[in-house]
Amino acid sequence: MKVFVYSCRKFDEEALFYRFAEQYGIELGICREAPTLENAGLARGASYLSIITSKIERPLMERFASMGIRMISTRTVGYDHIDLEAAKEFGVGVSNATYTPECVADYTIMLMLMAIRKMKRIMQRAAINDFTLQGIQGRLLSSFTVGVLGTGKIGRQVIKNLSGFGCRVLAYDLFESDEVRSYAEYTDLETIYRECDLITLHMPLTPENDHMINRDSIARMRDGVVIINTARGGLIDSQALIEGLESGKVGAAGLDVVEKEFGMYYYDRKSDLLGNRELSILRDLPNVVVTPHMAFYTDQSISDMVGHSLLSCRLTEDGKENPWKIL
């Protein structure tokens, strides 16, 4: 049984791929590049693909299906980069890979603290020996009402982490979890917008919640609200966020994800014109911390992503229950 791996990074993934492949009795094919119509042929002879965030749109799905690919495993939690309709149409299975939610949850708390303690300004000033205090006074997280949108594994871990800070936590999800009720109060979106000083996003991106943070929802939020996004860039209308930040309606933001990040993040683009104006503006604002989709990135997550991706192919091949199966 062969798995062809796209976008395999030499410095942190490759050795893990060989270790887990040996453990699960898998033959590997490895390629550094993301999958495209041009390099799809490299995967010939494999029944499974392991990919990361590269887009798999209809034509590529059709090509892989015609080559006999049974399943595409993305070594990510989110799978909004895969055309699921096309996968269904061409009979290609899809699976994801989970990793410990602490990776993203810890990072989320870091972005919250950076935002409310004005860390970007503090670091910029300290770097030029400006050790003055005016303009960098912070606020205590314990004085905040925090709204957590999305209480899946990551949202739940964020809520648990927050419980140590002593802040009031409101939560929203279409599916409520009993575990969350020990630390937070479930409520509706309107109440979250009206009562929260900080709102953090932890939901998958779907057609229904695309741009859920927009001019209208921002207008319903508290003045000076802090917005944190470690989930998917598409949840926020960047233009509306910029307007909110410029008017002071939004007091600060911590963004590990932005719109139009595909093909940009994880590549060296320093000599290119990025053509992402919203990113340029957001990066320039003193009250916005932007990081390049790094919240997941720890030793533990990489081992989990590689291991779970290969194990999910092994289980499918053996006709066993695959806990990461999406389709």
Task: Point out which residues bind ligand COI (CB under 6 A).
Answer: 52-53, 76-78, 293, 296
CB of 32 to ligand COI, least distance (A): 16
The whole-angstrom separation of Cα 230 and Cα 105 is 9
Q: Measured from the CB atom, is 157 or 197 closer to ligand COI?
A: 157
Which H helix or E strand runs over 168? strand 168-172
Q: How many other β-carbons are positioned within 10 Å of the β-carbon of residue 52?
A: 20
CB of 311 to ligand COI, least distance (A): 16
Cα four-point dihedral sign 231, 282, 265, 125: negative
Q: Measured from the CB atom, is 52 or 250 closer to ligand COI?
A: 52
* Catalytic-residue membership of 317: no
Of 156, 293, 308, 314, which residue is the catalytic one? 293
- DSSP category for residue 34: P
Of 13, 261, 314, 317, which residue is the catalytic one? 261
CB of 76 to ligand COI, least distance (A): 3
The whole-angstrom separation of Cα 202 and Cα 185 is 16
Residue 187, token pair as written in the block: 């409520």
Of 232, 259, 314, 317, which residue is the catalytic one? 232
CB of 80 to ligand COI, least distance (A): 8
Alpha helices by DSSP H, the chain: 14-24, 58-66, 84-90, 102-116, 119-127, 153-163, 178-181, 189-195, 215-219, 238-247, 277-284, 299-317
Q: Measured from the CB atom, is 196 or 295 closer to ligand COI?
A: 295
Q: Measured from the CB atom, is 17 or 144 closer to ligand COI?
A: 17
Q: Measured from the CB atom, is 187 or 298 closer to ligand COI?
A: 298
- DSSP category for residue 70: -
* Catalytic-residue membership of 232: yes
CB of 103 to ligand COI, least distance (A): 9
Q: How many other β-carbons are positioned within 10 Å of the β-carbon of residue 296?
A: 22
Q: Measured from the CB atom, is 4 or 99 closer to ligand COI?
A: 99
SS (H, E, C) 182-238: CCCEECCHHHHHHHCCEEEECCCCCCCCCCCECHHHHHCCCCCEEEEECCCHHHECH
* Catalytic-residue membership of 261: yes
Q: Which position has the token pair 């495993």?
A: 73
Determine the 3-state secondary structure of 30 from DSSP.
strand
CB of 295 to ligand COI, least distance (A): 7
Q: Which residues are identified as catalytic? A: 232, 261, 293
